[in-house]
Structure 1
């Protein structure tokens, strides 16, 4: 069969898509674009209402065209009724069941052979425990990047978050298989390792090993590669802060810290059921900046959370101006099923939109300042992959993106470059050594 896999959402979902695509190909099926597909696998995300609605429309549209649909990822775990309402014939693959994609495809083949029958039974496959996430073949989106998922689930209870209902409580994967998974990725030519989960700093809370020790073991793997540590919640970082700072000293680890504050108002954080104050988050950021001069800060902010007053929002605006994060993922709050915040009274959508636009403008001004400060910078970069635009994508030691437009540089290698220009999304550099 001809199969297309469309994936939405986070890097963990991207890793799952790579695993499923490898299985699909190894079973003898052909990976194709959507317009040529007999079967479309939708690897879904349900964090945002807008993404959910886009996917539900796609599920319905494909069914009306007579194309077989497999709905995988997060949505089947919490929105199965919505999926079936839009396409009763859709096959379902739960978030823990990516290794069982072959069962679904075999069922579709059998349905095709017996198509003369008027009866039809879509297959629904769910697994309680996560299987097949590491130490399995991959069909990578980028041959130079290996995504390693450290765990499944989360022990937090943020009042707006639907993902904890999808993926369940924290289940950290054993460290030895993780090390072997990354070792194999490096052996296959990957030179950039992305560590992903719902909260990387929670890793090991349920087993006898925490993230800093795992990072040290990863850095001991032989080879010339760099490690990107994904999102870590501030309240999960706090108990391991000093050990984490020590682990980040290794030159294989990008000096990038992704700490989602979500709001700079403690009143809003309390309603969000976040287990940190803005003062604690600031202390962590300052600790990283005191230790590493060139640390890059990413954060996430939810605008318009129920009960957010003007004064709360302005605290967040001032925080962005003061702490100057290089990247801010801004989300307009939308209610999600099953969450505590669904009970709260939402703000006027016009207020939410206005605040979102204002914060975007502030972030853009902050980023302009960062870009100006980098003009003429010279230093060592790691060329990680082909850029989406013409040229190669390189990263500084603090993960700042530098596109080298015209070069014979080789992905997976280090070069000395000079930054000579910038766009809203990346710097432009030339190789000087």
Structure 2
């Protein structure tokens, strides 16, 4: 069977979709690069905002004209029944949770080219008023640590040396099992192999409860000094409306402790612009928290009311106002990132080559998980020293020594 595969959205969606495809492959099956060549297309979907959902629906419709389609991810929960047909099969949330508790643990990585990390838990412990992902994913369901470690070993056996663990909230991992994320990271890095680990997104509330042991586990040389913690707003009133269950100062504490422990590191965060109830004061508070913490990466999303959430019918600020706020956040992000990248020019970074780039280049990652583009003949997952000679808009340019 010829399978075409593509996936969208968060790292969790991409990792579990890729593993699902690996699990459905039988001897003789192949991955093809075009839906026109496929017997079946598999798509991992995202519905975090309305525009993305519409993009998914259009893409599924297009794929269904070429072959039968399996739809994974968050879309089946939201609009699955509306678009199911003889040629479109929705993999339901119940099926995916069964996948987590059964087949996922024993999947062999048959096609490394589409492998995109290891999911460690489904669902989350939060109850954010705007979030459709928690509705689509359900309550927290963590995989057993020994099963995850076993899958990491299988990944390493296939020669994949970048271990990415992901979920809606990695900091929630193990709360339903009596364990935690730092313990899992410690178990992974205890494997006697040469590899690097990237820990996926974690919510501030749960991060605060594991901050000390998390920092200790991240001190290991095998762990990228990268932290993705979404603040969403710098205003406590808005955070309360969102039902985020933390305050802005918690985010500042996490950032400060992380940067104290790892001065050369990458801090990534998310901001929702135009949330209902937002005004100039809340906007200015968010600007202040950006100035105070200076995240290297800021993912900016305009608030998009989603069905089935408490915020669906809430009145949002005027579009022109939201555009101005978003523009300010974007300009701040560019300035912060440009300053950070420029400060590294002239330094020598040890990088692990993680993928082929464009026009004969290779892309590596330094200890802070920054992208470093290099030229010349390189070997995937090899580690090299590179002098940083220039910057792009979001990456470094290196010369291999």
* Structure 2 residue aligned with 1:320: 290
Paired with 1:262 and 1:412, the residues of 2 have a C-alpha distance of 34
SS at match of 2:240: helix
* C-alpha distance in structure 2 between counterparts of 1:297 and 1:48, whole Å: 24
**Are the equivalent residues in 1 in contact too, given 2:270–2:300 (CA < 8 A)?**
yes
Find the counterpart in structure 2 of residue 133 from structure 1: 104
Distance 1:66 1:194 in 2: 32
**Structure 2: which 5+ runs fail to align?**
none
Show the counterpart of 1:182.
Answer: 152
Is the contact made by 1:375 and 1:419 (CA closer than 8 Å) also made in structure 2? yes
Q: Distance in 1 between matches of 2:49 and 2:286?
A: 21
Which protein has the larger Cα radius of gyration, Structure 1 or Structure 2?
1
Q: Report Cα offsets for 1:239-274 as digits up to 9, x if no partner.
A: 111111111111100011111001111111111111
CA-CA distance at 1:141 after TM superposition: 5.8
Map residues 341-352 of structure 1 onto 2, 5 A cutoff: 341-352=311-322
Given that 2:108 and 2:154 are in contact with CA atoms closer than 8 Å, whether structure 1 keeps it comes out as no
Deviations 1:124-182 (A, max 9, x none): xx959644333312355648x76111111111001111111111100111111111111
Quote the residue 1:58 is aligned against: 59
Instruction: Summarize the alignment of residues 318-397 of structure 1 with structure 2, pairs less than 5 Å apart.
Output: 318-388=288-358, 390-397=360-367
Structure 1 CA distance, aligned partners of 2:308 and 2:112? 33
Q: Is 1:197 aligned with 2:167?
A: yes
Residue 47, structure 1, aligned to residue 48, structure 2: yes
Distance 2:400 2:308 in 1: 52
In structure 2, the residue matched to 1:93 is: 91
Alpha-carbon distance, 1:363 to partner = 0.8
Q: Corresponding residue for 1:15?
A: 15
Instruction: Indicate the residue corresponding to 2:200 in structure 1.
Output: 230
Which residue in 2 is equivalent to 1:413? 382
- Matching of residue 35 in structure 1 with residue 36 in structure 2: yes
The counterpart of 1:166, out of the listed 121, 133, 136, is 136
Q: Is the 8 A contact 2:14 2:116 kept in 1?
A: no
Classify 1:23/1:279 alpha carbon distance in 2 versus 1 (closer, same or farther; 3 Å): closer
Do 1:146 and 1:185's aligned partners in 2 also have CA atoms closer than 8 Å? no
Q: What's the CA shift for 1:59?
A: 2.9
1: distance between equivalents of 2:24 and 2:146?
27
2:35·2:67 contact (CA, 8 Å) conserved in 1?
A: no
- Root-mean-square deviation over aligned CA pairs: 2.1
- CA, structure 1 residues 155+310, in 2 after alignment: closer, same or farther (shift >3 Å)? same
| Change in 2 beyond 3 A, CA 1:233/1:203 | same
1:234-249 matched pairs, under 5 angstroms: 234-249=204-219
Q: Following the alignment from structure 1 to structure 2, what is the Cα–Cα distance between the partners of residues 190 and 383?
A: 11
Pair 1:274 & 2:272 matched: no
Residue aligned with 2:104, SS: coil
- Who is 1:262 aligned against? 232
Alpha-carbon deviation of 1:213? Answer: 1.2
Q: Quick one: distance in 1 between partners of 2:116 and 2:153? A: 10
Which whole-Å CA distance do the structure 2 matches of 1:363 and 1:50 have between them?
23
**Cα distance in 2, alignment partners of residues 77 and 37 from structure 1:** 26
Question: Are residues 251 and 127 of structure 1, via their aligned partners in 2, closer, same or farther at CA, if it must alter by over 3 Å?
Answer: closer
Q: The residue matched to 1:306 in structure 2 has which SS?
A: coil
- Higher alpha-carbon deviation: 52-61 or 270-279: 52-61
Give the TM-score of the pair, scaled to structure 1: 0.87
Deviations 1:386-431 (A, max 9, x none): 2245322111111111111x22332222222110001012100011
Following the alignment from structure 1 to structure 2, what is the Cα–Cα distance between the partners of residues 428 and 235? 36
- Summarize the Cα distance change of 1:315–1:139 in structure 2 as closer, same or farther, 3 Å threshold: farther
